[in-house]
Amino acid sequence: MVEKRLILIRAPGALVIMQRRIRTINRRTPALAAAIVLAVAAVIPRPSVAGETIVSVMESVVSLLPEWPGAESRPKEPEGTAVAVMPGGYLATNDHILGGAKKVKIRLNDGRIRAAEIIGRDALTDIALIKASIDFPVPPIGGNLGLGESVCAIGNQFGMGLSITCGVASALHRTGTGFNEIEDFIQTDAVINPGGSGGALIDGQGRLVGLVSAIFTKDSDANIGVNFAASLKLVLRVVNDLKDHGRVIRGKPGFGVRELTERERATLFGAAIDRVARGGAAIEAGLEVGDVITAIGGRKVRRVSDVPSAVHMARPGNSLDITYIRGGQSHRASLVLRP
339 residues of the chain, pLDDT tens digit each? 555 544 332 333 333 333 333 333 344 445 544 454 444 444 444 545 667 777 889 999 999 999 987 755 665 667 999 999 999 999 999 999 999 999 999 999 999 999 999 999 999 999 999 999 999 999 999 988 999 999 999 999 999 999 999 999 999 999 999 999 999 999 999 999 999 999 999 999 999 999 999 998 766 666 788 999 999 999 999 999 999 999 999 999 999 999 999 999 999 999 999 999 999 999 999 999 999 999 999 999 999 999 999 999 999 999 999 999 999 999 999 999 999
User: What are the C-alpha distances in Å from 321 to residues 187, 190, 290, 326?
Assistant: 26, 34, 18, 16
Which CATH number does 1-8+47-249 carry?
2.40.10.120
Question: Which residues, in sequence order, are CB contacts of 296 under 8 Å at separation 6+?
Answer: 306, 307, 310, 311, 320, 321, 322, 323
Q: Mapping DSSP to helix (H, G, I), strand (E, B) and coil, where does residue 244 land?
A: helix
- To the nearest 10 degrees (0 to 180), the angle between helices 14-28 and 30-43 is 150
CA 132-133-135 angle, to 5 degrees, is: 75
CA atoms 301, 307, 313, 314: torsion sign: positive
DSSP state of 295: E
One-letter amino acid at 49 equals V
Provide the terminal-to-terminal Cα distance of the chain, rounded to the nearest Å.
33
Measured CA to CA, the distance from residue 95 to residue 309 in angstroms comes to: 18
Contact indicator for 150, 47 with CB cutoff of 8 Å = yes
Confidence at residue 28, expressed as pLDDT on a 0 to 100 scale = 45
Q: Are 214 and 224 in contact (CB under 8 A)?
A: no
**Which amino acid type is present at position 215?**
I
Looking at the DSSP bridge assignments, the partners of residue 103 are: 67
Question: Can 96 be counted among the known catalytic residues?
Answer: yes
CA 249 and chain centroid, separation: 20
pLDDT at res. 306: 98
Task: Give CA–CA dist 315/83, Å, rounded.
Answer: 24
Name the burial class of residue 111, with classes exposed (0-12), middle (13-18) and buried (19+) by CB atoms within 10 angstroms of its CB. exposed
Pairing of strands 208-217, 2-5: parallel
Active site residue: 60, 150, 197, 231, which one?
197
The residue from 60, 95, 96, 312 that is catalytic is 96
Q: Taking CA 244 as the corner, what is the angle to CA 210 and CA 195, rounded to the nearest 5 degrees?
A: 35
Whether 36 and 25 have beta carbons less than 8 Å apart is answered as: yes
Q: How far apart are CA 196 and CA 59, in angstroms?
A: 16
Burial readout 146-158 (b: 16 or more C-beta within 10 A, e: otherwise)? eeebbbbbbbbbb
CB–CB of 139/208 below 8 Å?
yes
Output the pLDDT for position 224.
Answer: 80
From 95, 122, 126, 291, the catalytic residue: 126
Q: Per-domain residue ranges for the chain?
A: 1-8+47-249, 255-336
Active site residue 126: yes
Assign domain 255-336 to its CATH superfamily: PDZ domain (2.30.42.10)
Based on DSSP, count helices (H) and strands (E) in the chain, helices before strands.
7, 19
Predicted TM-score (pTM) of the model is 0.84
Classify residue 252 by its DSSP letter. Answer: B
